[in-house]
Chains A and B, each alone.
Chain A
Amino acid sequence: MKPFVGVRELRTDLQAKKYSAVELTQFYLDRIADLNDRINCFITVDTERCLERAAVADRQLASSHPQPLCGIPIAHKDLFCTAGVRTTCASNMLKSFIAPYDATVVKQISDAGAISLGKTNMDEFAMGSSNETSYFGGVSNPWNMKRVPGGSSGGAVASVASGMTPLATGSDTGGSIRQPASLCGVTGLKPTYGRVSRFGMIAFASSLDQGGPIAHSADDVYELLAAMEGHDPQDSTSARVKETVLPTRERRYVIGYPESLLEGLDERIAERIQQARRQFEALGHKIEVIELPYIDAAVAAYYVLSSAEASTNLARYDGVRYGHRTETSEDLLDMYCRSRTEGFGLEVKRRILTGTYSLSVGYFDAYYLKAQKIRRLVRDGFLAAFESVDLILAPVTPTTAFEIGSLRSDPVEMYKQDLYTIPVSLAGLPALSLPCGFIDGLPVGMQLIGPHFGEGDVLAGGMAFQRETDWHEQHPSLDEPSAP
């Protein structure tokens, strides 16, 4: 068995009894045991239950109709509720929280036959771009242990990038799947808002949060998306739309190229994006230069809106029904205040206070309402672009993976890491982040952005690119400590 294998090969091998689901699960558990101390991808490994489930999968595999992901291991970001296994959101607030039910996504993926290995590390409450705000410690980038994996789905992408699991779930509010996927050289999709159920996914900013798949290729991302998408009566914002369908024949796309976005970008990254542009042209796609307006203001608007929603969502953590409660308190208000102060880390507090500020009397119009208006302008800018193009090609990150600790003391610089991912989130669009090269041994990614519910074409574009390139097939060497 080998750690970096795609879903189709795993499925074929499992059905051909080349190895059993139990053996495959044990193989990844062993790899987690070998590597997790160094990378810190997993907060919880569900050893016992996953082996039990793998044994059930082996019986299913012997039947004539095994489920599509039968026996294939997966790791869930630790904000998807899992009945019986703790869901911490990488926070002291929820460090012992065991949800009474599975998130819809967890249930769907389990119904599709996949085996959950455990729960992956993340920025606390998904607030961060470096996975440094986790209560359970930071995650290292498998390509260079002194660098961040990105965030907030840092543990999820690093677990795939290091071959501890072939598949992982993540969530993306302002770039939390796409940015770490780019920094770790894996493929990840932020689906259209509403494509994937949010029921049982711990809320950060409800108008932006969206769960999505992370894997080694667009092919595998599609396989996992197929298992996790669909309308959910438990989530009133989940969309009643048809499932993602890939185009039946290869299409030649008109791909929008927001050239002005590349100005000011690290020129080596810009060069990789230009190279990808030439590859798409060579494949017969047409490139059309477009403008995307209000990108700079989008980051500011995002921080206003997401922090406002976070301050509201996180009001529920009061030490009464679940989560951390302080040991000592004088009265009820004191109990709320101490429990929250002890339970939340610094970045979460910063966002709650920012959100409270922008929602408070006297500031609401200047910040919150203004941000919502900018959100409309950003979205309308994309909708106008999609009048003439099928997809948009864009960078994902302004730099490659940065050093652990280098941006930690400067929240605004950290927020600017998400310059290229945030506008897509505000517009609710689907976007695939996929590898397109390396700089000094560190992966570089690009985004393919589509119109609402255009995942089929976004993925087809990514698949076409990955048939011609092998960036997604490069893996870090983890046998010895990485070079400084």
Chain B
Amino acid sequence: MDEVTIQRLMTLSQLSLDGEAKEKISRDLDAIIGFIEIMDQVDTEGVEPLAHAVDLDQPLREDRAVVDEDRDVFQSIAPKTADGFYLVPKVLDQR
């Protein structure tokens, strides 16, 4: 896996690896991709992709108003909040 690809994957995944960890994971990804290429041996011409194994219908719930928003409870486990908002570092002037 070349440097450009691994860098792109890290950016897309919002992960940052360098040094030995990056080399190790790069080698692992090569091995994993080599392994999954066994799929090429299967002829899937004309086969429809399958997203879920069990054919379930998904009936809609009864349209009934329920109160399940409890902001204080949910925000009590957040790293930083103020006045009902989540606080994050500055967004402007970013890369």
* A356 to B32 Cα, complex, angstroms: 13
Q: Which among A304, A357, A415 has the highest number of chain B CB atoms within 10 Å?
A: A357
| A183 close to chain B: CB less than 8 A | no
Q: Which residues between 177 and 212 of chain A lie within 8 Å of chain B, taking CB atoms?
A: 192-194, 207
* A323 to B35 Cα, complex, angstroms: 33
Residues of chain B within 8 A (CB-CB) of A233 are 61
Q: Which residues between 327 and 344 of chain A lie within 8 Å of chain B, taking CB atoms?
A: 329-338, 340-341, 344
Residues of chain A within 8 A (CB-CB) of B48 are 373, 376
* A466 to B8 Cα, complex, angstroms: 53
Determine whether the beta carbon of B95 is less than 8 Å from that of A337. no
Determine whether the beta carbon of A332 is less than 8 Å from that of B90. yes
Question: A-side binding surface: helix, strand, loop or mixed?
Answer: helix
Determine whether the beta carbon of A341 is less than 8 Å from that of B73. no
Q: Mark A221-257, 1 if CB is under 8 A from B, else 0.
A: 0000000000001001101100000000000000000
Residues of chain B within 8 A (CB-CB) of A360 are 8-9, 12
The interface on chain A, measured as residues whose beta carbon lies within 8 A of the other chain's beta carbons, has a size of 72
Q: Report B6 CB to chain A, min CB distance, Å.
A: 8
* A371 to B10 Cα, complex, angstroms: 23
* Contact A411-B28, Cβ < 8 Å, known A194-B56, A297-B41: yes
| CB closest chain-B residue, reference A343 | B15
Determine whether the beta carbon of B50 is less than 8 Å from that of A237. no
Q: Which among B35, B36, B38, B52 has the highest number of chain A CB atoms within 10 Å?
A: B36
* A311 to B14 Cα, complex, angstroms: 11
Contact of A320 among B28, B56, B88 (CB under 8 A): B88
* Contact A194-B54, Cβ < 8 Å, known A371-B39, A411-B32: yes
Contact of B79 among A319, A356, A415 (CB under 8 A): A319
| B84 close to chain A: CB less than 8 A | no
Q: Mark B67-95, 1 if CB is under 8 A from A, else 0.
A: 00010011011111000001011110111
Q: Which residues between 1 and 54 of chain B lie within 8 Å of chain A, taking CB atoms?
A: 5-6, 8-10, 12-17, 21, 24-25, 28-29, 31-42, 44, 47-54
- In addition to A192-B54, A349-B17, A411-B32, 5 A-B residue pairs with Cβ atoms within 8 Å of each other are A297-B41, A349-B13, A357-B33, A376-B50, A412-B35
Residues of A that sit less than 8 Å from B by CB: 97-100, 192-194, 207, 233, 236-237, 239-240, 294, 296-297, 300-301, 303-304, 311, 315, 318-323, 325, 329-338, 340-341, 344, 346, 349-350, 352-354, 356-358, 360, 367, 369-377, 379, 410-412, 415, 426-429, 452
